[in-house]
Amino acid sequence: MKEFDIRPDALFENYLRLAESDAKKYFSDAPRNQIKCPACRSDGNSIFNKAGFTYQECPECRTLFVSPRPSADAFNRYYIESDSSKFWATKFYKETAAARREKIWKPKAKMIRSIMDRKNLLDANLVDIGGGYGLFAEEMSLLTGKDVTVIEPAPHLAEACREKGLPVIECFLEEIETSALPETPRFYVSFELFEHLHDPGLFLKQLRRVMAKDDVFVFTTLSGVGADIRALWQDSKSVVPPHHLNFFNPFSIKILLENNGFTTLETTTPGRLDIDILCNNRKHIKDRFWQIFVEQANLDQKESMQSLLASTGFSSHMMVVSCIH
């Protein structure tokens, strides 16, 4: 898989421009509060500013996070009303849907089904938190023959899921009632959501409130110790405020889950794009090791280098399997 397959340059750059404009529109006057590391609650150190947001790094667990952080109300309004959110929900998703279905969602559906099989939960009702455009839910329904319930607060995305015939609960997880969910056992999934959450601890507490003892929660998110994020740092296109606020890692995500009543069953970094992203953004690499590493990656070594990052926990794409205590 290539970065261009799922993020065409012109389309993605347009999105980034809209996001930067929206950051000023929705957050320039929003009240902000200093927060501690969302994983281990230590004080962070400010490391760089981007689009009017300050990123801090935790010296204890290496979590990267935005602080001071605007209020939750500002983010809720942003995700519902902003031009960049609408662009992502309509034009970006629509124009990349076919490639994302083949490159991301079909393989991910097979991976999730394999985990459900290992956990003896093939008959569980699957709930996709932040289901987006509904591509995963469609692919998973084809594999299992069962409906996938989508929780999606963004109106444009919720409507796109309804148009696909998917059962949709249009609200934030924090607002959901257990009675609105399908019967237990339930198998919850959430893809690329944790980096967006205003309060990851609150999200987990609310999820724990509706989870049953034998339910499982699988999620993917960006790892702040992933190779491309670490080498590109503030120039990384993954570090894009106001969208991405939290970058946990295989060590700190366990702390976050444990502190909120969850047990980590598996943590992997099965990413496939780190080396390709670094090659595409080599002009922003300042570290001499990564400069030579990327130069060598052009000598037909990309696949083996990417496999090394993935197998050692240093890809920026992280997947976690968890359950409640």
Q: What's the confidence (pLDDT) of residue 43? A: 98
Q: What's the confidence (pLDDT) of residue 3? A: 63
- Residue 319 CB-density burial (10 A; 0-12 exposed, 13-18 middle, 19+ buried): buried
How far is residue 173's CA from residue 324's CA, in Å, rounded to a whole number?
Answer: 17
Sign of CA dihedral 172, 177, 179, 185: positive
Tell me the whole-structure pTM to 2 decimals. Answer: 0.91
Positions in the chain whose pLDDT score sits under 50: none
- Residue 73 CB-density burial (10 A; 0-12 exposed, 13-18 middle, 19+ buried): exposed
Task: Please give the domain boundaries of the chain with CATH numbers for all domains.
Answer: 3-271+319-324 (3.40.50.150)
Q: What's the confidence (pLDDT) of residue 36? A: 98
CA-nearest of 269, 270, 192 to 238 is 192
